[in-house]
Amino acid sequence: MLALLFRHPLLDDSDVTYEITSPKTASEPSANSAPSIAPIADLPMVSEAGEQVAVVPLELNYFDSNNDPVDDIGVEILDSLGQLHTGTLQGGLLTMPDLPIGQCQISYLGTTDVDEQQLIEKRKVFKQYLSDMLAEIKAQAAREDALFEQQDLIDQWLIQLGATMTGVYDGGKSVVQGIADIVTFTVDVQLQVYSACYDLIDSLMRGDIPAIKQQMETILAHTEKSHQSLTEAFELLVVIVEDDETRTALANFPNDYFNAHSFVEKHRIGGIFLFEILLAVLTAGYGAAASAASKSKYVVKAHKALTEIADIIKRKRLNRQQTHALAPSNTKTVEKIEQPPKKLAQPKFKRLPPPVSIAEALNRLTLARQSIIKHGYRAKYSDDELLAMAQAGKVANERFHVRFMDANYLEYKGKPGNLGQPFEGESGYGAKYWSTTFDQIEDADSDPKIISEKLGLDYQPDKQFVMVVIDTEKTKNIADTHSIIPTYQNLGKFAKEELPSNFSVEEVDKLMTPEFQSHYAQQYQAALDSGLMKDEWHTAGAVKYFSEHSADKTEFDLMQKRLLMQDKLGNNQHFLGNGLTKTLLPNDGQFGAVETFNFERKLVNLEEFGDAIKISDILTPIGK
């Protein structure tokens, strides 16, 4: 509660105390909410002309564009009689009672004169630290240039040539240890990253926030820069661009710092080093590649000064002037402040060309694990993309498939196991199994928990899993493997062709529909919940439940046929019929991957496949 003592010069000598209250928590108020204070006070005020003026409360509401309250800033109200009232916003709200009706001026005070003076001083401090960094690198450059001048012409030429070639290689291929950390060494990606890094400096000079955001997201998409470090840098830039003097100093610094390097060093570092210099200042050296700028003894101090400037600018942004015609029917005012973008878009998983060998595929999985550790899981494809790929059907023809399987299946009765359960169809006898392709599973790394959830499976930490990478160009010749995308239509066609003695064409047409699948899934889950089924594979319990809950014999017969199809083909109660798995990963859409159904017309054990497959070690979750 905030009490303000006010003595009106035209009234008697008694004190009038204003009690201003605000809730501890608040949300944006409704425009229709009735004020909690009576619209007209019992005691009117008197104007300078001696006229009585009615008084009403004024409710102030100050929120940002995200509906978050602006909190703990001062407010001044100059009423229609020329009297000044002060208070403080709490939870974005402030109610000032008993103000005379008429035109009033409202000032929201994010900063004070003291803050403005501090801003001037902190700008000087920041620019001094930048000057100290320049002096530091110039001193180093003078020593290096002096050593270079002592060499004869031949040695100078060799040194310069070596530096230039190193600079070209480093600038183009990420400076190996880090300048921009480019992970995709292709010409188009190089050009995109180079352009973004150079253009970013110009965008900063202009204060163009949308361009800065786009350029930083380009850098993030094609490098292994941390999303967190670049987002923190972006958040700082968004604030700094509002202060012309600091923005100009920061934008000029990368070029000044680069030019302060020695003759040889400038040839060596080249490339996109300007961005790294800027990033060093914005992140205190932590987000930038190893360089003189990131290691400078002044970079942390410069960063601290910059963040202190940003804090004042953030508060300065809240300064607002507002005019309000106060009347019994107009006792509420709402002020909104637009918030600039704060976050960079999380980049999608980087899509590389298909691997050309199993060895490359396994190496890519190692890189994927490093990416997940750094950025968290990122889906490679959206739901719409997955649906389109499943409908096109081309995924089944990709060269490298991946089988995620229980490690217990690697052996059977002391002999090498198979890729799947033995299956006999009209065209042959071999293993039958469900899998996906390397392209579909790459973003999940080799983490068994992420893979399970991506494939719609409940992860069982008490079990051990392996990944089998399959070169289908070789296995087709060995096992005569046939692969399809298991949609209702494709899997139904397979059942008609390979299992005509088990399922008639009419039965398949009835079973392989979304409507029947939905009914089957509901009944199967009910059977599991009833306790008649000992586990998910206890078909006798399912049959008993179906016999007791089917509407008639026709429905019961169909339910039995569907249960037989699940046993023969593996399309269980979770089967979606669109060729996709249902993801269990949080905040990742509905679908996980395009899956494949595979049938080997020859029974071949894992050992007989030779170098056509590669079995991983036991998979371990990240962090284990």
Quick one: how far is CA 177 from the chain centroid?
25
pLDDT tier at 131, thresholds 50, 70, 90: very high
Identify the pLDDT of residue 155: 46
Mean pLDDT of the 607-622 span: 94
Q: For residue 208, which phi and psi values (nearest 5 degrees)? A: -90, 90
**Above 50 in pLDDT, residue 520?**
yes
**Above 70 in pLDDT, residue 478?**
yes
Identify the pLDDT of residue 490: 97
Identify the pLDDT of residue 41: 42
CB atoms within 10 A of CB 416: 13
Distance CA 197, CA 190 (A): 11
* Helix, strand, or coil (residue 87): strand
Distance CA 170, CA 175 (A): 3
Label the pairing between strands 411-412 and 415-416.
Answer: antiparallel
DSSP symbol at 499: -
**Above 80 in pLDDT, residue 225?**
no
* Helix, strand, or coil (residue 195): helix
**Above 60 in pLDDT, residue 4?**
no
CB–CB of 109/76 below 8 Å? yes
pLDDT tier at 80, thresholds 50, 70, 90: very high
**Above 90 in pLDDT, residue 600?**
yes
Which residues lie closer than 8 Å to 51 by C-beta, 6 or more apart? none
pTM of the model: 0.59
Q: Please name the amino acid found at residue 226.
A: S
Rounded to a whole number of angstroms, the distance between the first and last alpha carbons of the chain is 53
**Above 50 in pLDDT, residue 7?**
no
Distance CA 347, CA 216 (A): 11
Mean pLDDT of the 125-133 span: 92
Identify the pLDDT of residue 428: 95
Query: Sheet harboring 93-100: ordered strands across?
Result: 93-100, 55-64, 332-337
CB–CB of 218/196 below 8 Å? yes
Identify the pLDDT of residue 149: 55
Share of the chain above pLDDT 70, in %: 80
Per-residue tokens: 154:
């031949």
Distance CA 379, CA 400 (A): 19
Per-residue tokens: 507:
């039965």
Identify the pLDDT of residue 147: 59
Q: How many residues does the chain have?
A: 624
CB–CB of 291/273 below 8 Å? yes
Cα 511-452-475 angle, rounded to 5 deg: 75
Which pLDDT tens digit goes with each residue over 282-296?
Answer: 887 766 655 667 778
Per-residue tokens: 330:
């107009």
Per-residue tokens: 246:
């600091």
Mean pLDDT of the 136-159 span: 60
Identify the pLDDT of residue 345: 78
CA distances from 36 to 39, 206, 400, 537, 617 (A): 9, 48, 69, 64, 69
Nearest Cα residue to 260 out of 271, 274, 246, 249: 274
Q: Pseudo-torsion of CA 424, 430, 434, 439, nearest 10°?
A: -150
**Above 70 in pLDDT, residue 470?**
yes
Cα 58-60-62 angle, rounded to 5 deg: 170
Distance CA 282, CA 237 (A): 8
Identify the pLDDT of residue 94: 96
**Above 80 in pLDDT, residue 531?**
yes
Q: Is 179 exposed, middle or buried (0-12, 13-18, 19+ CB in 10 A)?
A: buried
Which pLDDT tens digit goes with each residue over 239-249?
Answer: 999 999 999 99
CA distances from 334 to 70, 93, 94, 202, 507 (A): 12, 10, 11, 37, 66
Distance CA 16, CA 424 (A): 96
Identify the pLDDT of residue 29: 40
Identify the pLDDT of residue 42: 42
Which pLDDT tens digit goes with each residue over 31-79?
Answer: 444 334 334 444 566 656 667 789 999 999 999 988 899 999 999 999 9
pLDDT tier at 440, thresholds 50, 70, 90: very high
Share of the chain above pLDDT 90, in %: 55
pLDDT tier at 298, thresholds 50, 70, 90: confident
Which pLDDT tens digit goes with each residue over 313-337?
Answer: 999 999 999 999 999 999 999 999 9
**Above 80 in pLDDT, residue 624?**
no
Quick one: how far is CA 127 from the chain centroid?
34
Q: Please name the amino acid found at residue 105.
A: Q
Out of 159-168, 367-376, 384-393, 421-430, least confident range? 159-168
Identify the pLDDT of residue 39: 41
- Kindly tell me the sign of the dihedral angle through the C-alpha atoms of 240, 245, 248, 254: negative
Q: Please name the amino acid found at residue 103.
A: Q
Identify the pLDDT of residue 229: 83
* 469-489 burial: b if 16+ Cβ within 10 Å, else e: bbbbebbeeebebbbbbbbbe
Distance CA 112, CA 105 (A): 18
**Above 90 in pLDDT, residue 346?**
no
Nearest Cα residue to 111 out of 310, 316, 337, 309: 316
**Above 90 in pLDDT, residue 367?**
no
Q: Is 443 exposed, middle or buried (0-12, 13-18, 19+ CB in 10 A)?
A: buried
Mean of the per-residue pLDDT values of the chain? 82
